[in-house]
């Protein structure tokens, strides 16, 4: 056993996830070492505050306040970047990669915003960059797309990628409280950040969708180029409709590629999903991803998308892959082939839609609405009317047959200008995924 | 491009799966070669009948009737064993491994029955043996357990691993036809084999459970040492009860390890599963696996468990892993550490149970039954009575509180001897997985 090679691991950022990694590597050390034929040493860690009390015991000599010291320590072969953000984290990552090291990261924003530069640096110096923990926490979805489903082209991938949003939507559905009431409680319980906007406005989901789209298609789609909508505008009226029609409302990232036109579409928005779909039943803080490949058909992956332990599980799996490469030969993982897919224009995106409007309760309004939608060739599948919370008004809930995004947006713009329509119409996609 | 290394692939057994692999490797060749930095050549294939018409065009010069010729061809580096069975398939596998080759297999029976010998031979000669396609078809479950979740100990893994059984149970649930009627139709549609016993009696599921148990725990549990029950005894009475109580009946493989006693339990049996569980909603020919790790929590994997394309998807992912190792260095995958877990004795296995009895419709029967169960400390949670199809008889459906396997089996044996009990009682576990 003493002849085994030693792999030194450094942790930049001993926060929640970093402590989880430290804890579980320590606990599973014997098993991991036996599997790998190598000794694992947690050599150093960087922290912001040396005096802070931590869950794990780390000797003072192994701590530093300078993450760059960890990243560039010549003894350390594997650097875990668990700092977050895109400034210090980026500098630390690039410094380690320039020394030919392997970097393991849980940082979706960094991968999403600076992926090409980081990957190029890893390639150039013969190192590796792993980021399983950046998407869907403990679910090995990156490995599945990159390795397990390598025989496939991916027509459609859709997923619930943000635990905070899914928790809020699940509770709104079950308890009929408002968005604001649940958000407040989620914050108190630590299920939502103090500044929740990155989560509830859809940007965290968009970061993850960008990474998945790159792995599946070799094209980087910046989040600004996606349609990104959050969950803040979902009300109990929508929830009630969904319940009545056996639908769930989920914040979905939908990545679709049309292999005839080569167009790629990445959308993040709350959508109605039939209860018969497995993902409609993925609740609370769980994430779920449906991956449809041309060879394998649909495969689905579900698990905790965040939290200390789930994220640590993914980080450790990357550490193990890194150690395998180090001690057993330097095989590189097959990388996505860079490829430029043009974005899919809205007139090529077709969906069924749910449209909710508050209208004046007077004769002729429905016919005006029908005329406005018909003008844009939007065909109505169903109409339901309930009383509005506004005085002398009714709420109409319409669903459409398959229609394209450009047409429905134009129709909604037109509807907003109609005299009988009050406030802003609610437009949601119905994600039946059956076309 | 001409300087790229060439990897020669041979296919032993150009049946349904073999042709799927040939077809999809041919179709995706350019993408795979770009990813791998290697040229892939489908060099030779063995068939039973040279004159048979096939889905894929393979030049006559590349076909042989002798799989051993393919396995030992010195040009061929990767051999796909897609013959099935455990005689010729085993000889071909060992011959290829003895030459240091990589063997890719979809053969669960072979892995299950001769895994240790095959793995030892691969290690000895520096080759590799991959078998992602042997379990749950296109779902990359082996990669998930072996690599993606490597940081975890697995307290519980349960899965629907046989598409034929799941198809039959799904149709019984939806259409209220008998087992026999559905089986007949499934055979006509090609969803069940002419000899269905390997599937419906649970042995195919048991083979797959044995492989999963080994990967997760390093212990080989022979199928004879498991409790294996099939689905043939499930009736519409059970289905009706399940429906009424928001349960589904699924043929589950349940692999549980008690890390306090180190005991390992592998059971294959039809079980009642609450509809709230994702796996209760995995229907038709789909497979699903729930993997609970001590670090990551529960993760779930769903996809097609069989069929030409899903299986080919898994085989090709193994080929790609094999090629990666060949051309980019010879890193071995981390292997499970061999470990002997003692089997869990029935008195340590606790479950809630569903027990259905036909009884004479006369006073005193229920009290006799209650006394018999009480004698073995089996505590009844609910009792429901309906009319039996037998004359002058009633059907009792009981559920129990948590009780151990030994106690319930003893109680049932006792019940069978009671004068008022008619026929054979139906005993099913209620797999709530909440303890």
- Give residue-wise pLDDT tens across range B137-184: 899 999 999 889 989 999 999 999 999 999 999 999 999 899 999 999
- Residues carrying CATH 3.30.360.10, chain A: 141-304
Binned at pLDDT 50, 70 and 90, residue B435 comes out as very low
CA of A307: which chain B residue's CA is closest?
B296
- Distance to chain A for B300, nearest Cα, Å: 5
Q: Please check whether residue A350 touches B, CB under 8 A.
A: no
Nearest CA in chain B to A140: B148
Closest Cα in chain B to A295: B309
- Packed helices B29-36 and B308-327: angle between N→C axes, nearest 10 degrees: 30
Task: Please judge whether B151 and A333 are an interchain contact, meaning their C-beta atoms are less than 8 angstroms apart.
Answer: no
- CB contact A4 to B (< 8 Å): no
Q: List, by residue range, all CATH 3.30.70.260 domains of chain B.
A: 346-430
Higher pLDDT: B161 or B343? It is: B161
Closest CA to A244 of A435, A399, A359: A399
For residue B227, the model assigns a pLDDT of: 82
Chain B contact for A316 (CB, 8 A cutoff): yes
SS3 state at A81: strand
- Chain A neighbors of B143, CB-CB under 8 A: 140, 143-144, 147-148
Task: State mean pLDDT over B313-334.
Answer: 77
In angstroms, what separates the C-alpha of B290 from chain A's closest C-alpha? 9
CA–CA separation, B260 and B401 (whole Å): 23
Domain with CATH 3.40.50.720 in chain B: 6-137+308-327
> Rounded to a whole number, what is the distance in Å from the CA of A307 to chain B's nearest CA?
9
CA atoms within 13 A on the CB side of A380: 19
Query: Does the beta carbon of A388 lie under 8 angstroms from any beta carbon of chain B?
Result: no
The tokens for A140 are 């090995």
CB contact under 8 A, A140 and B139: no
- A250 has catalytic annotation: no
Q: How confident is the model at residue B244 (pLDDT cuts 50, 70, 90)?
A: confident
- CATH architecture classification, B6-137+308-327: 3-Layer(aba) Sandwich (3.40)
Task: Tell me if chain B has a CB within 8 Å of the CB of A143.
Answer: yes
Position B1 scores a pLDDT of: 46
Whether the CB-CB separation of A8 and A62 falls below 8 Å is answered with: no
Percent of chain A past pLDDT 70, that is, above it, reads 96
Q: Would the CB atoms of A301 and B304 count as touching at under 8 Å?
A: no
Chain A CB within 8 Å of residue B278 CB: yes
Catalytic one of A101, A208, A250, A277 = A208
A309/B295 Cβ within 8 A: yes
pLDDT of residue B342: 76
What is the rounded average pLDDT of the residues A48-65? 93
DSSP classification of residue A424: E
Is A140–B143 a contact, with Cβ atoms under 8 angstroms apart?
A: yes
Q: Does the CB of B180 have a partner CB in chain A at under 8 Å?
A: no
The Cα–Cα gap between B235 and B163 comes to: 19
- DSSP letters for B143-207: HIIIIITTT--EEEEEEE--HHHHHHHHHHHHH---HHHHHHHHHHHTSS-SS-HHHHTSHHHHH
Q: Which residue has the higher pLDDT, B2 or B330?
A: B2
Topology (CATH) of B141-304: Dihydrodipicolinate Reductase; domain 2 (3.30.360)
Phi, psi for B176 (deg, rounded to 5): 60, 25
CATH number for the region B346-430 comes to 3.30.70.260
Mean pLDDT of B40-66: 94
User: Do the beta carbons of residue B176 and residue B244 sit within 8 Å?
Assistant: no
pLDDT at A276: 86
């Amino acid at each position: 056993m003493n002849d085994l090679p030693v792999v030194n691991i450094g942790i930049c950022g001993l926060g929640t996830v970093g402590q989880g990694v430290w804890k579980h590597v320590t606990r599973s050390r014997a098993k991991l070492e036996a599997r790998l034929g190598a000794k694992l040493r947690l050599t150093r860690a960087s922290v912001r505050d040396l005096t802070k009390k931590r869950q794990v015991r780390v000797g003072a000599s192994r701590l530093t306040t300078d993450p760059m010291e960890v990243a560039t320590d010549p003894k350390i072969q594997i650097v875990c970047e668990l700092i977050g953000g895109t400034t210090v984290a980026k500098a630390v990552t690039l410094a380690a990669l320039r020394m030919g090291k392997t970097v393991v990261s849980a940082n979706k924003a960094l991968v999403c915003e600076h992926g090409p530069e980081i990957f190029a640096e890893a390639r150039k110096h013969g190192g590796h960059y792993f980021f399983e923990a950046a998407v869907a926490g403990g679910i090995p979805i990156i490995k599945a797309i990159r390795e397990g489903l390598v025989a496939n082209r991916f027509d459609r991938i859709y997923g619930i990628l943000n635990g905070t949003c899914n928790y809020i939507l699940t509770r709104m559905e079950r308890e009929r409280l408002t968005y604001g009431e649940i958000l407040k409680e989620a914050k108190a319980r630590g299920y939502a950040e103090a500044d929740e906007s990155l989560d509830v406005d859809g940007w965290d989901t968009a970061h993850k969708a960008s990474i998945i789209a790159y792995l599946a298609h070799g094209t980087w789609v910046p989040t600004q180029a996606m349609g990104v909508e959050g969950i803040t505008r979902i009300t109990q009226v929508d929830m009630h409709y969904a319940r009545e029609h056996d639908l769930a409302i989920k914040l979905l990232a939908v990545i679709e590629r049309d292999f005839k036109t080569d167009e790629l579409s990445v959308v993040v928005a709350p959508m109605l999903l039939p209860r018969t779909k497995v993902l409609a039943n993925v609740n609370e803080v769980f994430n779920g991803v449906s991956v449809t490949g041309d060879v394998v058909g649909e495969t689905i992956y579900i698990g905790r998308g965040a939290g200390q332990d789930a994220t640590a599980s993914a980080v450790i799996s990357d550490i193990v892959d890194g150690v395998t490469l180090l001690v057993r030969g330097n095989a590189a993982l097959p990388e996505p082939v860079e490829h430029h897919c043009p974005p899919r224009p809205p007139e090529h995106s077709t969906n069924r839609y749910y449209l909710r409007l508050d209208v004046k309760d007077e004769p002729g309004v429905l016919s005006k609405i029908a005329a406005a939608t018909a003008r844009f060739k939007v065909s109505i599948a169903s109409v339901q009317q309930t009383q509005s919370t506004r005085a002398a008004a009714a709420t109409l809930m319409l669903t459409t047959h398959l229609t394209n995004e450009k047409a429905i947006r134009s129709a909604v713009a037109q509807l907003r200008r109609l005299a009988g329509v009050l406030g802003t119409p609610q437009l949601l996609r119905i994600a039946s995924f059956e076309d």
